[in-house]
Amino acid sequence: MSEVAGLQRQRRARLTRRLRFLGLCALLVLGLCALILSLGQSFTPPATVLRVLGGEAVPGAGFTVLQLRLPRAVVGALAGLSFGMGGAAFQTLLRNPLASPDIIGISAGASAAAVFAITVLGLAELPVAVVAVTAGLGIALLIYLLSWRQGVAGARLILVGIGLSGMMQSLTAYMLSQAESWTLQAAMRWMTGSLNGVQLEQALPLLAALAICGGVLLIAAPALEVMRMGDETAAGLGVRTGLIRAAVVVAAVGLVAVATAMVGPVAFVAFLSGPIAARMTGRDGSLLLPAALVGAVLVLTADYAGQFWLPARYPVGIVTGVLGAPYLLFLIIRSNRTGGGL
């Protein structure tokens, strides 16, 4: 009985730790949104922000809060949720921290398609987003087919994805070098990821993706956790591994592709969110929701830092890239030293 009581206490302790972390992240997201709405190049008192959000016409503050700051906070938070959840889904499915959409080429493919749509086809707004999402799904399918050999091994898929990512980045650089000057500014956001100039309407596709794709991932989360023990074990426990894998891949790609279409490929958010969530909550239980909240915190913090905490103004993707690149190098070095595969 004492052993059973001890296991119950450990389970309760893990659950409490998880709930505390989720609550803390949710508070951080709300706090960062409040900071963005109140403090920028000028200070808007919180009471005035609430009046503006309540529909009151406040001269000066209305435009600043509703047109400049609110879209940045809302779209940034939703994009961070999408990147974080999509990245954690891939990492859990393939049981490898390197299996992130921005590492294996999905974000790069969506970005290359968006740049092509802008610089070659002359598209803008919604058509560009549609092209980017379609390309993200297409690149994911191509990676899957190229890595298939009597099944898909995680290491093989990652290596194929890294190779395709390099190709997509080279193609994007070539298109930018040939583009006309008036299309470069619109296209450059697809190289780095930026919240500059976002509109509140861009939150609608993100909300739809989170409701549909995020809902699919959360429903599949229990089965996905069982599949961490291996496909044979999961199948023996009644999990339809093929269906779950297909649903998770499509849903995760959809989340990341829509987020990339709205704000560009914000580097390393999908890559970092899962490991940070795992370190803070422990590895028991699904990482999808914790990683989503970590992604929102990363995007909002990096965007605010890039705007106001550094000597010059930098897009959010530059800041997250500086944060994520050292961790990627550390992960590769650690894998080599321990003899682990990629």
In a domain, 307, yes or no: yes
CATH number for 309: 1.10.3470.10
Torsion of CA 295, 70, 257, 297, to 10 degrees: 0
Tell me the one-letter amino acid at 243.
L
Closest CA to 266 of 108, 67, 33: 108
Which residue bears the tokens 């994805």?
A: 161
In a domain, 309, yes or no: yes
Integer Cα distance of 106 and 261 in angstroms: 12
CB count within 10 Å of CB 169 equals: 17
Alpha carbon 316 to its chain centroid, in Å, reads 13
Residue 294 confidence (pLDDT): 96
Q: Tens digit of pLDDT for each residue in 232-271?
A: 788 787 888 888 888 998 899 889 988 988 888 898 999 9
In a domain, 14, yes or no: no
Structure tokens at 17: 């730790």
For 9, 271, 280, the CA distances from 294, given in Å and listed in that order, are 27, 11, 10
Integer Cα distance of 225 and 179 in angstroms: 46
In a domain, 110, yes or no: yes
Under-70 pLDDT residues of the chain? 1-4, 6-7, 150-154, 189-190, 332, 334-342
In a domain, 6, yes or no: no
Q: Is 268 left (phi over 0), alpha (psi -120 to 50) or beta?
A: left
Contact in structure between 118 and 284 (CB atoms under 8 Å): no
In a domain, 275, yes or no: yes
Closest CA to 251 of 273, 295, 221, 231: 221
In a domain, 236, yes or no: yes
Q: Tens digit of pLDDT for each residue in 300-332?
A: 999 999 999 888 888 999 999 888 878 777 776
How many domains, in total, are found in the chain? Answer: 1
In a domain, 249, yes or no: yes
Residue 328 confidence (pLDDT): 75
Residue 342 confidence (pLDDT): 37
Dump the DSSP string for 216-275: HHHHHHHHHHHHTT-HHHHHHTT--HHHHHHHHHHHHHHHHHHHHHHH---TTHHHHHHH
Q: Is 284 left (phi over 0), alpha (psi -120 to 50) or beta?
A: beta
- Eight-class DSSP state of 152: B
Range of the domain at 214: 19-338
